[in-house]
Amino acid sequence: MINLSGKIILITGASTGIGAATAQTLAKAGANVILHYGHKQQEAEAIATQIGQDKCYLLKADLAEKNAGVKLWVEAIAWQGRIDILVNNAGIFVAASVDDEIDIWSNAWQQTLQVNLVAVADLCREAIRHFQTRDGGTIINIASRAAFRGDDPQHIHYAASKGGVISLTRTIARGFAKSNILAYAVAPGFVRTERVESYLQQVGEDFATRDIPLGKLATPEDVANVVAFLASGLAPHATGATIDINGASYVC
């Protein structure tokens, strides 16, 4: 049984999907969790109610805005005066193709990179600086299978952003291990979240499962359980590693 009692954990994008499941799983393991949300306040409040108001703290921030990650970190630290673990889960998945007008293409790239990579990097920077004043800490970044095998032509920018997350995580692991700062990436394939359900309505479930040997999509809890293990501190020498959660659809 993983025990996270006494740990303060910041989870971005915690109102739905993987983030919500992760928040609930970490709280059940004993952690106090800071739940970040962007626009889904009611959903975030529902998760907070399930966890218990004494075990969590809600924070709103639009990570599409410049420096929003830095402001979020400052507000998160103010709750208990410290953070032990950062889980960068928030991300967006917007479509744009090479056939779209340049403004649509450019906006999709800029917004996706800002939320999926720049805000992640800003939060990692703040976490590293904080962890260096303490006895280390842990960063867990949610990437994607797309970082390694690419994505469909409508989501080139998404795959590129998640590739950046992998490189960011590995560099942090190599560069700050001496400060007892651990960094891991988790790379899910198709996970049965609200966003994926909407996507499946367009492309069909067979499209998602056709190359998954396990024959079914992962659940948010599959990802949350891996995050909980990495947060436990039981595998420090795995720092820098990427954990694939894709039913063997892509094995690197």
At which residue do the structure tokens 């709750």 appear? Answer: 79
- Judge whether 58 and 15 are in contact, CB under 8 Å: no
Question: How much is the pTM?
Answer: 0.95
Domain ranges of the chain: 8-193+220-242
Start-to-end C-alpha separation, the chain = 29
Residue of 57, 158, 199, 250 with catalytic role: 158
Helix %, strand %, coil % of the chain (to 5): 50, 15, 35
Per-residue pLDDT of the chain (252 residues; tens, 9 = 90+): 799 999 999 999 999 999 999 999 999 999 999 999 999 999 999 999 999 989 999 999 999 999 999 999 999 999 999 999 999 999 999 999 999 999 999 999 999 999 999 999 999 999 999 999 999 999 999 999 999 999 999 999 999 999 999 999 999 999 999 999 999 999 999 898 887 787 788 878 888 888 899 999 999 999 999 999 999 999 999 999 999 999 998 876
CATH topology of domain 8-193+220-242: Rossmann fold (3.40.50)
Decide if 57 is catalytic. no
Cα–Cα distance measured from residue 109 to residue 83, given in angstroms and rounded to the nearest whole number: 31
